[in-house]
A = this chain, B = another copy of it.
């Protein structure tokens, strides 16, 4: 087992990464109060809920559960309210802990509920997908969607502890494992060419679910994100680098309709577009673009998106949160493994980069 500490002053917390982790011993020091609400979904419930409930009950805790339907479309205010209902029906007070057992949606919702319930109670994350292990387990971003925008309502809420158990990835559909690897590749491309070399050595075994290699990938990804987040907790600057591929990717997701492509799939093609534009700007080489496409393909991720009319693609891009005073800013690569946030790019070249990476 490896331990990574996210350094956020008095909100510092550990991420335990390994296989078949023991929740009883690992969670005990981090649970406040006697009341624990485990929030999970209908997919995770039959797989892992009993295991955690039993461990917590062995610790003498009063454990209640809140099981939500599975899916991004339930990440809304109505289903958030079901968590509040469960907490209040159970008579939980300020001195309780909310434990998220599931993927990114469950983490976002349970985290946000814990931030708001009685103006803030304790929060623990047990991410059960690769994506949530490498992404939402670091950074404290929680929240829900609104019909007019994703993640528009939320809070920064840091967990007490995160348990990332590779054994739980065995039950993950291969397509979701690949979508998680998309964010892993992102960390390499935005800030660590050595990690890219490592991924190039091991991608097939990662895709096959090798627990030891996955643990290392999760550790290195979380370490990257933790360093960036520690410098910029509330996203005033450097943290925007984590959105490499995301502005293009959001346009793809929005056009196709959320859920048609997985987030990681859209980000994968978005990273190809970002690399392509970076090459056209003369910052990286054609070989760098090929390496980018190659590692993405080896993770079973798409390097081209379906044909999308350019004006619609640009329209969706203009809704990006990084638009500042009407200026679109993108995360591009100044060199392979070194991303920057910039509005200093040629819009005509950007259009070529978009069109060049669509299916004909």
Interface residues, chain A, CB within 8 Å of chain B? Answer: 77, 81, 84-85, 88-89, 93-94, 115-120, 141, 143, 146, 148-149, 152-156, 234, 321, 323
Given A77-B77, A84-B146, A321–B93 Cβ distance below 8 Å? yes
Cβ contact within 8 Å between B120 and A153: no
Distance in angstroms between the alpha carbons of A116 and B120 in the assembled complex: 13
Nearest chain B CB to A229's CB is how many angstroms away? 14
In the assembled complex, which residues on chain B have CB atoms less than 8 Å from the CB atom of A149?
A: 88
In the assembled complex, which residues on chain B have CB atoms less than 8 Å from the CB atom of A118?
A: 152-154, 321
Given A77-B81, A81-B77, A93-B321, A88–B120 Cβ distance below 8 Å? no
In the assembled complex, which residues on chain B have CB atoms less than 8 Å from the CB atom of A85?
A: 146, 148
Closest-by-CB residue of B relative to A119 is: B154
Distance in angstroms between the alpha carbons of A141 and B156 in the assembled complex: 17
Cβ contact within 8 Å between B116 and A153: yes
Distance in angstroms between the alpha carbons of A85 and B94 in the assembled complex: 29
Among B89, B93, B155, the residue within 8 A (CB) of A148 is B89
Known: A89-B148, A116-B116, A119-B155. 15 other contacts (CB 8 A): A77-B81, A84-B146, A88-B148, A88-B149, A94-B321, A115-B155, A116-B153, A116-B155, A118-B152, A118-B321, A119-B141, A119-B156, A119-B234, A120-B156, A155-B155
In the assembled complex, which residues on chain B have CB atoms less than 8 Å from the CB atom of A155?
A: 115-116, 119-120, 155
Among B89, B120, B143, B323, the residue within 8 A (CB) of A119 is B143
In the assembled complex, which residues on chain B have CB atoms less than 8 Å from the CB atom of A143?
A: 116, 119
Listed residue (A116, A117, A141, A146) with the most chain B CB atoms within 10 angstroms of its CB: A116
